[in-house]
Chains A and B, each alone.
Chain A
Amino acid sequence: MLVTVNGEQRETRAAHVEALLDELEYASKHLAVAVNYDVIPRARWASAPLKDGDCVEILTPRQGG
């Protein structure tokens, strides 16, 4: 299926958020994830399902003003 990850379309077989992070080899310890504007707490990454067309944002701490 096709999902959009941080603005880029990607083909994936991941059934849930955690599988997607593994598939894309995310290594950072400090991540927060939203799917279609819904924040998915870390405790739900392994259960939050992904479906075709989902829009996933994977974010991290950064400098700000």
Chain B
Amino acid sequence: MVKFYDTEFSSRLLIGTALYPSPAIMQQAIRASGAQLVTVSVRREMAGGKTGDAFWSLIHELGIAVLPNTAGCKSVREAVTTAKLARELFHTPRIKLEVIADDETLQPDVIGLVEAAAILIKDGFEVYPYCTDDLGVAMKLVDAGCRVVMPWAAPIGSARGIVNRSALTLLRQRLPDITLVVDAGLGAPSHAAQALELGYDAVLLNTAVAKAADPVAMANAFRLAVEAGRAGFEAGLMDARDFASPSTPVVGTPFWHAVS
């Protein structure tokens, strides 16, 4: 089980609801992923439009919990207001907090992020901050009251996998009691398995599944990879070393010492 604030989930895979070829494939992929928490957003509604109602029905049919985001917000004020609007719409205290510094890389504005997180925590939100892999920033988020921290593996949608393994390892070591989620940049099931093997509690992804040739099959592949990665972590991985160490017994090797 993995704990997000006071709620426990059995699935360690959080999945997004965007970019799928069709609403039906989105639903099938989410079901195949086994995810119990899906990310959603809030956007402007056209006068007379009912796009929001249609999307709401799709999510409601899945019967699983939602994690609204503040995607696209570039200031503390925008992010805080968007979080409050999301709470109105989705009736949940959860918020995936994004404050973006740079449009090209979607690099988080970590200074604004810490400020916004503090405001929202005081207002009763359960904040899931999307951040870089910087330990100092993560510690500031924890100081602000975040019980979940979500560092990136690589830029959003880049599919590059874990770029800075040592930074993510350090976060895990220094924040043993915080629920850590690798969010963004995963492209392959093996990337997700690596994150879980490092001791991360969960991964959050969207593009890698939605943009796969077969999103439903890929969602299933990620589900298996997350389960395998976690099982590997729990089994206790051996330490890496620089030199070879024979696995086959040396004693009794045929012709041992026979060569002069």
Hey, which bits of chain A sit against chain B, CB under 8 A?
6-7, 24-32, 34, 37-39, 41-42, 57-65
Contacts and interface: CB of A to CB of B under 8 A. Distances in A.
Nearest to A59: B42
Contact of B52 (A6, A7, A61): A61
A31 B45 CA distance: 8
Contacts, number: 113
B47 interface: yes
Contacts of A30: 52-53, 56, 89
Interface of B: 16-20, 26, 39-53, 55-56, 59, 68-69, 71, 77, 81, 84-86, 88-90, 156, 206-207
Contact of A59 (B16, B18, B77, B85): B85
Given A26-B45, A60-B42, A32 B89 contact: yes
Contacts of B16: 63-65
A60 B47 CA distance: 11
Contacts of B206: 65
Nearest to B41: A64
Contact of A39 (B71, B77, B88): B88
Contact of B40 (A7, A25, A61): A61
Nearest to A24: B47
B41 A28 contact: no
A61 B90 CA distance: 8
Contact of B45 (A38, A39, A59): A59
Contact of B42 (A24, A28, A32): A32
B51 A62 contact: yes
Nearest to B52: A60
Given A6-B44, A32-B42, A39-B81, A62 B52 contact: yes
B199 to A, nearest CB: 24
B52 A28 contact: yes
A5 to B, nearest CB: 8
B49 A34 contact: no
A63 B53 contact: no
A47 B194 CA distance: 53
Nearest to B15: A65
A34 B89 contact: no
B244 to A, nearest CB: 43
Contacts of B53: 28-30, 60
